[in-house]
A and B are shown apart, each in its own frame.
Chain A
Amino acid sequence: MIIENYITSSCLIDKQGIYKNEMLLYENKEISLSDFFLAAYRNFELNYPKFHKMDNLCKLGWLATEILLKDSFYKNEYESKDIGVVLSNASASLDTDIKYFESTKEIASPALFVYTLPNIVIGEICIRHHFKGENAFFIFEEYNSGFIEQYVNNLLNNNILQACICGWVELLDNEFKTVIFLIEKKATGQNILFTKENINKIYLSKNG
């Protein structure tokens, strides 16, 4: 029996701006990465002081998740253990690893050290939303829609999870792109089937 799961929300952030369900919500007018993230944080009136302490990879993934879930996710319909996060990228935490290495030439920064693992972005998202389900962070050379589809469908179809936030969160130096999806078993938002073709289409919809 084929079990169908749905993309009920999506969020894409690239240099051009922030898109939710393929519609532009916020246009980037800043030059630097940190100014863009801070301007977006203020634009969406987010209130989470820890955001300012995160490294850029965490800020990117955290911001995308905030926008992905806002007005689109009814968390109370799920138990916290049934909501998971599966992310991937190509550069792991290299952006912060390099900054931390540079800091060690004087006094090593504890605040940078704690972000020298890519899965910390999942931790920040789970702490924020109290998600306690399965989570994993995978490194691929490039965006791997086939793996995301297969892995997340397996978690949902075997009742390991009932809802999953998944996708790609890539950042190195000033280059970045994230596309994340909320996958649920029923079509509560968009009626888009969770397939490799559909998550590819959303990923490729903006080529910034």
Chain B
Amino acid sequence: MSDLKKQIIDQLNLQDTKPEDIGDDQPLFVDGLGLDSIDSLELIVLLQQQYKIKLSNAVEGPQVFRTVRTMAEYITAHQVKNI
């Protein structure tokens, strides 16, 4: 999950944030990291660029991008499917 946190920081230009500042179960949006709707689109781009995963169902977005852990679980599940 440490690599994923670094990728999130790079993708979203969170220059004042370090990977260790982001908790595994900390909400990414609203009260957590405070990400916004444009950030959510950038996270979709991150999945495509880094992991070749396309979010097939937009309704899944809020659950997939809830925390770093839920993102990591989604990546793990879908990378397995892609192999």
The interface residues of chain B lying within 8 Å CB-to-CB of A114 are 38
Interface segment, B12-20, B24-32, B55-63, B67-75? B12-20
Once the chains are docked, how many angstroms separate the CA of A108 from the CA of B72?
23
- Do residues A107 and B13 form an inter-chain contact, with CB atoms below 8 A? no
**Is A38 part of the contact surface with B, judged by Cβ < 8 Å?**
yes
Smallest CB separation, A103 vs chain B (Å): 9
Smallest CB separation, A36 vs chain B (Å): 15
The interface residues of chain A lying within 8 Å CB-to-CB of B17 are 49
Contact among B12, B15, B42, B48 for A38, CB-based, below 8 A: B15
**Is A201 part of the contact surface with B, judged by Cβ < 8 Å?**
no
- Do residues B45 and A107 form an inter-chain contact, with CB atoms below 8 A? yes
- The size of the chain A interface, using a CB distance under 8 A, is 10
**Is A29 part of the contact surface with B, judged by Cβ < 8 Å?**
no
Q: How many A-B residue pairs have CB under 8 A?
A: 29
Once the chains are docked, how many angstroms separate the CA of A38 from the CA of B16?
11
- Do residues B38 and A110 form an inter-chain contact, with CB atoms below 8 A? yes
**Is A81 part of the contact surface with B, judged by Cβ < 8 Å?**
no
Interface string of A82-118 (1 = CB under 8 A from B): 0000000000000000000000001101110010000
Number of contact residues on B: which range applies?
Answer: 10 to 19
Most buried by A among B13, B14, B48: B13
The interface residues of chain A lying within 8 Å CB-to-CB of B12 are 53, 111
- Do residues A107 and B49 form an inter-chain contact, with CB atoms below 8 A? yes
Residue of B nearest to A114 (CB): B38
- Do residues A110 and B41 form an inter-chain contact, with CB atoms below 8 A? yes
Q: Is the interface of A mostly helix, strand, loop or mixed?
A: helix
The interface residues of chain B lying within 8 Å CB-to-CB of A53 are 12-13
Smallest CB separation, B38 vs chain A (Å): 5
**Is A52 part of the contact surface with B, judged by Cβ < 8 Å?**
yes
- Do residues B14 and A110 form an inter-chain contact, with CB atoms below 8 A? no
Residue of A nearest to B40 (CB): A110
The interface residues of chain B lying within 8 Å CB-to-CB of A111 are 12-13, 38-39, 41-42
Most buried by B among A52, A106, A109, A110: A110
Once the chains are docked, how many angstroms separate the CA of A49 from the CA of B13?
9
User: Taking beta carbons and an 8 Å cutoff, which residues of B are in contact with A?
Assistant: 12-17, 34, 38-39, 41-42, 45, 48-49
- Since A107-B45, A107-B49, A111-B12 are in contact, a sample of 8 more A-B pairs with Cβ atoms closer than 8 Å, ordered by chain A residue number, is A49-B15, A52-B13, A52-B14, A52-B15, A53-B13, A109-B42, A111-B42, A114-B38
